[in-house]
Amino acid sequence: MIAGHGSRRNRAYPVDMNGPAAPDPLLALADVCVQCGLCLPVCPTYQVEAIEAESARGRIAMARALVLGTVAATEAGEDHLDHCLACRNCEEVCPSGVEYGALLVLARERQRARRQPGFTQRALEWLSARPRVLAAMLWCYRLAWPLLPRALRLLPRPPAARRGPALPRQGDVALFRGCVAGPYEAGLRDAVGRLCAAAGVVVAEPGGQGCCGALHAHAGDLAATAALGARNQRAFARAGTVLTLASGCHETLEASLRGVAATEDAQVFLAARVEALAFRPCRERVALHLPCTQRNGVHSVAATRALLARVPGLEVVSLDAGHGCCGAAGTQLATDPARAARFREPLLAQLHASGATRLLSANIGCRLHLANGTGMRVQHPLEFLAEQLS
């Protein structure tokens, strides 16, 4: 199996640290920080704002002080916590091994007890937990899209409903569908079905599955994440292996399915079977965007590159401009579109100067956000690879 570039695997979610003598779990995580500041240069929000409170070190210090009661919560402090993109670039460089992802989830859980999230966030959480309502909303959005002013086009126009057969309900491995990805990614799921078939594997799409709950967890609603996880546990009880297509969903689903089924990035799964895949030559230059959840969470970058390297003649240009995050950041693309666009701008400038004819990215949130800022074709790497099958 091809692993990613990162050797450390920090937790995206906190483990149960309760017990008679257990310290406050948030405090235990925060106390690992030695305040060296090595995370500051890689923090996208610190790069933009250049103030301590917009860095990992600043947020950790604030969360710790709130637990100890040495400071009171303020509106400005809540904003700094809101602004964190959960990219976990800080974790990757931290010499002390601070588990910032787990710490952020706990900090946001306590923030949620102090202050209710905004209407857009709550609406997105409600919709993502109800796939049929969400699909109906996106169908209406597709119809209305040509009439909408630019400011209301928070997402690209959804594709027309799928024609032709869906994936079977049973197979050798199962595919995780997700929430917003459901209506947007029918073509991608078909593409994965073709790639797996070429590798001799039947991929199925079990019914009854739903949202992974990542956007609820990142907004501090761990109870909703657990309820959604329980639904997926039932849906995948007999799956064996579940393939994910969105790096932003992978870790949450993996945590939910622990002990029930193995969770694997579809790119890692296919990279391990790459010898069975044959691709046509392609004299094209494509741009590759590597989502922070893929780089810092799933660690499947090497698998993506290994698969793309099998296409004869293909030129891959890596997008590395900007601040290390495209700005989509879970729901930020909808809750604060102006801020999200600010992080996206340098990446789009590099994309348009690159001479690439399409953009590849392995996370649905990043793809929707990037596609909304460019007229260029934006695809998951596996959708592109399925087109090149010989």
Question: Where does this chain bind ligand SF4 (CB under 6 A)?
Answer: 33-39, 43-45, 56-57, 59-60, 84-90, 94, 96, 98, 100
Closest contact distance (angstroms) between CB of 97 and ligand SF4 is 8
For ligand SF4, give the closer residue by CB, 104 or 167: 104
Smaller CB separation from ligand SF4, 117 or 193: 117
CA pair distance 161, 167, nearest whole angstrom: 15
Q: Report d(CA 38, CA 303) in Å as an integer.
A: 28
Q: Are 30 and 64 within 8 A, CB to CB?
A: yes
- The Cα–Cα gap between 36 and 50 comes to 16
Q: What is the number of other CB atoms lying within 10 angstroms of the CB of residue 355?
A: 10
What minimum distance in Å lies between the beta carbon of 93 and ligand SF4? 6
Closest distance to ligand SF4 from the beta carbon of 218 (Å)? 10
- DSSP bridge pairs for 288: 318, 360
The least CB distance from residue 94 to ligand SF4, in Å, is 3
By beta-carbon proximity to ligand SF4, the closer residue of 232 and 332 is 332
Which tokens belong to 196? 């797996």
Minimum distance, C-beta of residue 11 to ligand SF4, in the bound complex (Å): 14
Least spacing, CB of residue 175 vs ligand SF4, in Å: 29
Angle subtended at Cα 101 by Cα 214 and Cα 89, rounded to the nearest 5 degrees: 110
d(CA 200, CA 184): 26
DSSP assigned state of 145: G
Cβ proximity to ligand SF4, 85 vs 356, nearer residue? 85
How many other CB atoms are found less than 10 A from the CB of residue 346? 16
The residue (of 44 and 158) whose beta carbon lies closer to ligand SF4 is 44
CB nearer to ligand SF4: give 188 or 217: 217
Return the number of the residue (98 or 246) whose C-beta is nearest ligand SF4: 98
Instruction: Pick between residue 228 and residue 325 the one whose CB is nearest to ligand SF4.
Output: 325
CB 221 within 8 A of CB 331: no
Question: In degrees rounded to 5, what are phi and psi of residue 148?
Answer: -75, 140
Amino acid at 102: A
C-alpha to C-alpha distance for 388 and 375, rounded to whole angstroms? 22
CB of 29 to ligand SF4, least distance (A): 10
Rounded to a whole number of angstroms, the minimum distance from the CB of residue 325 to ligand SF4 is 7
Q: Give the strands of the sheet with 173-175, arranged side by side.
A: 203-204, 173-175, 241-244, 262-265
From CA 85, how far away is CA 270, in angstroms rounded?
29
